[in-house]
Structure 1
Amino acid sequence: MSRRPRLTGRPLLLRRPRRFRRPRPRSLRSRLVLIACLLATSAVLVCQLAGLTVLRGWLTDQVDERLSHFRPPDRVARDMAEDRLRPPPPDPTLPSDYRVFFYDADGALLPAFLGSGNGAGPRLPEREADLELTDGRPATVPAGGDGTDSGWRVLTHAGPDGTRTVVALPLDTVDGATTKLLWLSLGLGVAVAVGVITLGNGAVRLGLRPLTRVEQTAQRITDGALELSVPVPGPDTEVGRLGLALNTMLDRLRTALRRTENSEQRLRHFMADAGHELRTPLTAVQGFADLLLHEPDMPAARRQEAHALIARNAERMSRLVDDLFLLARLGDSAPAHREPVDLLSLTADAIATTAIRHPDRSITLEPLETPGAPGSAPDLAVVETPGDPHQLAQVLGNLLTNACTHTPPDSRVRVRVGAARVRTEGADSPSSGPPLPPGTPACVVEVADDGPGIRPDEAPYVFDRFYRASPAADEGEPGTGLGLAIAAAIATAHGGRLELDNRPGEGCAFRLLLPDSTPGPDDDRRG
Structure 2
Amino acid sequence: MRKFLLRPATSLRRRLVVGVTVLATLAVLTSQAIGSVVLRSWLLDRVDQQLAAFHPPAPVYADALRDDLPGPRTRPSVLPSDFRVYFYDSTGERLNHSMGAGRKSAPLLADSSDDLGMDYGRPETISAEDGDGSWRVVRYAGPDGMNAVVALPLDTVDDTLSRLLWLDAAVLGVAVAALIAVGRWVVRLGLLPLTRMERTAEDITAGDLDLRLTDTDARTEIGRLGRVLNTMLDRLQRALQEREASEARMRRFVADAGHELRTPLTAIQGYAELALRPERRSAGERQEADRVVAQNAERMSLLVDDLQLLASLDKEPSYRHEPVDLLSLAADAVSTAALQDTTHPVDLGPVRPPEGSAGTSELELVETMGDPHRLRQIVENLLSNARIHTPPGTAVHVRVGTARSGAAGGSGRPGRTSASPSLSEDTAVSIVEVSDEGPGLTAHDAAHVFERFYRADPSRSRARGGSGLGLAIASTIAEGHGGRLELDTAPGEGCTFRLVLPGEMIKPSAAPEQGARPSPGRSGGWGP
Structure 2 residue ranges without an equivalent (≥5): 506-528
What is the aligned partner in structure 1 of residue 349 from structure 2?
Answer: 367
**Structure 1 pair 334/152, CA: closer, same or farther in 2 (3 Å)?**
farther
* Offset, 1:172: 0.6
Q: Given the two structures, how large is their TM-score scaled by the length of structure 1?
A: 0.76
Matched, 1:56 2:46: no
SS in 1 for 2:118: coil
Give the whole-Å Cα distance in 1 for the aligned partners of 2:280 and 2:14: 94
What is the aligned partner in structure 1 of residue 368 from structure 2?
Answer: 385
Give the one of 12, 15, 21 matched to 1:37. 21
* Offset, 1:329: 4.3
What is the aligned partner in structure 2 of residue 101 from structure 1?
Answer: 86
Of residues 133-142 and 150-159 in structure 1, the stretch that sits farther from structure 2 once superposed is 150-159
Give the whole-Å Cα distance in 2 for the aligned partners of 1:126 and 1:296: 152
SS in 1 for 2:103: coil
Would you say the 8 A contact 1:348–1:365 is kept in 2?
no
What is the aligned partner in structure 1 of residue 525 from structure 2?
Answer: none
**Structure 1 pair 263/161, CA: closer, same or farther in 2 (3 Å)?**
same
Would you say the 8 A contact 1:491–1:498 is kept in 2?
no
Q: Deviations over 1:274-301 (max 9, x none)?
A: 1111222333444555566776999999
Of residues 194-203 and 116-125 in structure 1, the stretch that sits farther from structure 2 once superposed is 194-203
SS in 2 for 1:110: strand
Give the whole-Å Cα distance in 2 for the aligned partners of 1:437 and 1:24: 52
SS in 1 for 2:453: coil
What is the aligned partner in structure 1 of residue 522 from structure 2?
Answer: none
Would you say the 8 A contact 1:441–1:516 is kept in 2?
yes
Matched, 1:186 2:169: yes
Give the one of 404, 412, 431 matched to 1:444. 431
* Offset, 1:152: 0.6
**Structure 1 pair 444/289, CA: closer, same or farther in 2 (3 Å)?**
same
Letter in structure 1 aligned against 2:99: L
Of residues 489-498 and 437-446 in structure 1, the stretch that sits farther from structure 2 once superposed is 437-446
Give the whole-Å Cα distance in 2 for the aligned partners of 1:500 and 1:24: 62
Give the whole-Å Cα distance in 1 for the aligned partners of 2:275 and 2:217: 80
Matched, 1:229 2:217: no
What is the aligned partner in structure 2 of residue 47 from structure 1?
Answer: 31
Give the whole-Å Cα distance in 2 for the aligned partners of 1:249 and 1:425: 29
Q: How does 1:373-412 map to 2 (within 5 A)?
A: 380-403=363-386
What is the aligned partner in structure 1 of residue 61 from structure 2?
Answer: 77
What is the aligned partner in structure 1 of residue 252 from structure 2?
Answer: 269
**Structure 1 pair 470/225, CA: closer, same or farther in 2 (3 Å)?**
closer
What is the aligned partner in structure 2 of residue 9 from structure 1?
Answer: none
**Structure 1 pair 41/369, CA: closer, same or farther in 2 (3 Å)?**
closer
Give the whole-Å Cα distance in 1 for the aligned partners of 2:282 and 2:388: 34
Would you say the 8 A contact 2:36–2:161 is kept in 1?
yes
Give the whole-Å Cα distance in 2 for the aligned partners of 1:128 and 1:469: 125
* Identical-pair percentage: 47
SS in 2 for 1:480: coil
SS in 1 for 2:415: coil
Give the whole-Å Cα distance in 2 for the aligned partners of 1:333 and 1:467: 24
Would you say the 8 A contact 1:63–1:169 is kept in 2?
yes
Of residues 94-103 and 417-426 in structure 1, the stretch that sits farther from structure 2 once superposed is 417-426
Letter in structure 2 aligned against 1:248: T
Q: How does 1:41-440 map to 2 (within 5 A)?
A: 41-78=25-62, 80-81=64-65, 83-84=68-69, 95-145=80-130, 147-148=131-132, 150-232=133-215, 234-287=217-270, 310=293, 312-331=295-314, 340-351=323-334, 358=340, 366-368=348-350, 370=352, 380-403=363-386, 414-419=397-402, 422=407, 427-428=414-415, 432-433=419-420
What is the aligned partner in structure 2 of residue 464 from structure 1?
Answer: 451
Would you say the 8 A contact 2:5–2:18 is kept in 1?
no
SS in 2 for 1:113: strand
Q: Given the two structures, how large is their TM-score scaled by the length of structure 2?
A: 0.76
User: What do you get for the CA RMSD once the two structures are aligned?
Assistant: 4.4
* Offset, 1:489: 3.1
* Offset, 1:273: 0.4
* Offset, 1:132: 1.6
Of residues 427-436 and 300-309 in structure 1, the stretch that sits farther from structure 2 once superposed is 300-309
Of residues 254-263 and 330-339 in structure 1, the stretch that sits farther from structure 2 once superposed is 330-339
Of residues 172-181 and 358-367 in structure 1, the stretch that sits farther from structure 2 once superposed is 358-367
Give the whole-Å Cα distance in 1 for the aligned partners of 2:72 and 2:107: 18
Q: Deviations over 1:344-371 (max 9, x none)?
A: 1222444566678x38777755222637
* Offset, 1:407: 6.3
Give the whole-Å Cα distance in 1 for the aligned partners of 2:381 and 2:72: 136
Letter in structure 1 aligned against 2:352: T
* Offset, 1:462: 4.3
SS in 1 for 2:94: coil
Give the whole-Å Cα distance in 2 for the aligned partners of 1:175 and 1:352: 119
Give the whole-Å Cα distance in 1 for the aligned partners of 2:426 and 2:414: 12
Letter in structure 2 aligned against 1:60: L
* Offset, 1:107: 3.2
**Structure 1 pair 314/21, CA: closer, same or farther in 2 (3 Å)?**
farther
What is the aligned partner in structure 1 of residue 485 from structure 2?
Answer: 497
Give the whole-Å Cα distance in 2 for the aligned partners of 1:32 and 1:498: 60
Give the whole-Å Cα distance in 2 for the aligned partners of 1:383 and 1:105: 130
Structure 1 residue ranges without an equivalent (≥5): 1-19, 519-527
Q: Deviations over 1:114-161 (max 9, x none)?
A: 21011321112233333221111110111111x12x101111123344
Q: Deviations over 1:431-467 (max 9, x none)?
A: 65457799986533233567x7567699535433223
